[in-house]
Amino acid sequence: MTRSEIPLSVTVPIVIDHDVRPTHRHLLGVGELPPRDIFRILLLRPNHRLGNTLLLTPLLTELERRYPGAEIDLVTGCEAADDVFAGFRQVRHIHQLTRRPGHHPVHLLRTLLLLRRNRYDLAIDSTRGSRSGRLLLFLSGARHLLGLPSSKRELREGGSAWQTALAHAPSHFSLDGVYALRCAMGLPFMAQDAIWPPMRIHLRAEEQVCGRALLTDLLGHAPDGDHQVIALFPNATGNKRLGGEWWLALADALKAANPRLSFIEMLPAHGQSQLQLRFPAFYSSNVRRMAAVLAQCHGYISADCGVMHLACAAGVPTLGLFTRDNLTRYRPRGPHDEALCVADCAPAEVAAAAAPFLHALPR
């Protein structure tokens, strides 16, 4: 095995001194997290993707509500984390891991030692299924460890209380950590559905003004009541991506059914138009500038991707187009958001299915 092939789960035990390595500790059980005496919180999501980072924001909102006197540190691999979490008043420090932390053992060791010196009251692995997140949780040295049980051993140790709780768990990825926190605090299952915190990026008033000015410049005129501006982001990774010709056909079908629509194209990181520059195009490497422009649009349409979650967090009505069977887990979940499964669907079919979403857009 070469160094580039060494996973985090192998690297961490190698680089950590035996005197520092923690003994096995259990996850918090249902109702075991105290409502007070929690002041130093560590939130773990060692992932580099923008979408997965934005999906943490509901948990941050929940922590600010449940523990308003606490400070929160985060461990992330996302380079845009500072921009995403700006405006969350209790975030103190963001520990930035490299995209592949197992490839940089010295940096990883320094981060782990710093985490342990902070002596956190609570560390949270924010989602199920992340082996690196769970490993960092047990290495954090925190007084209380929180995460939804996922392995057979964790389910066995959690007992019937966690098994009952998991039967009521919400399906959306962004609510894993929120639900784990509420269960650990002993909140009744039947009261869980009342209010789920939304995904959110906190834009300042001056950023909103700048976003409106940028959109006005793109359109050549201020947004008015005669047209509804729809932002398109025709890019995604792997088999989530729909081709440029498919998107152009979709835009034509949407326009034919809704003559009042006008479109702008949000460009991906490589800065190349996917729609042959047919529509005004906007590029920015700064996610807050992107969010500020999106927040001024009437609606947003894209495949499942990080920018879809950014649009949702910015508060613009969002329509997500899914080619995989993970719609329930990752769909945009704002009050005016919708999601469609478009696998093997022609653009005209998708345009017809999108009609209720477009009809409900603000005028």
In the prediction, which pLDDT does 18 show?
A: 39
In the prediction, which pLDDT does 176 show?
A: 94
In the prediction, which pLDDT does 191 show?
A: 57
In the prediction, which pLDDT does 363 show?
A: 73
In the prediction, which pLDDT does 14 show?
A: 40
In the prediction, which pLDDT does 28 show?
A: 95
3-191: CATH class: alpha beta
**CB within 8 Å of 350: residues ≥ 6 apart:** 250, 253, 321, 340, 342
In the prediction, which pLDDT does 223 show?
A: 81
Q: State the fold for domain 205-359.
A: Rossmann fold (3.40.50)
Mean pLDDT per segment of 10 residues, for the chain of length 363 residues?
41 43 70 95 95 97 96 96 96 89 80 93 91 92 94 88 92 94 87 78 97 96 86 93 95 96 96 96 97 97 97 98 95 94 96 96 82
Domains 3-191 and 205-359 fall in the same CATH topology? yes
> How do the domains of the chain map onto residue ranges?
3-191, 205-359
In the prediction, which pLDDT does 98 show?
A: 80
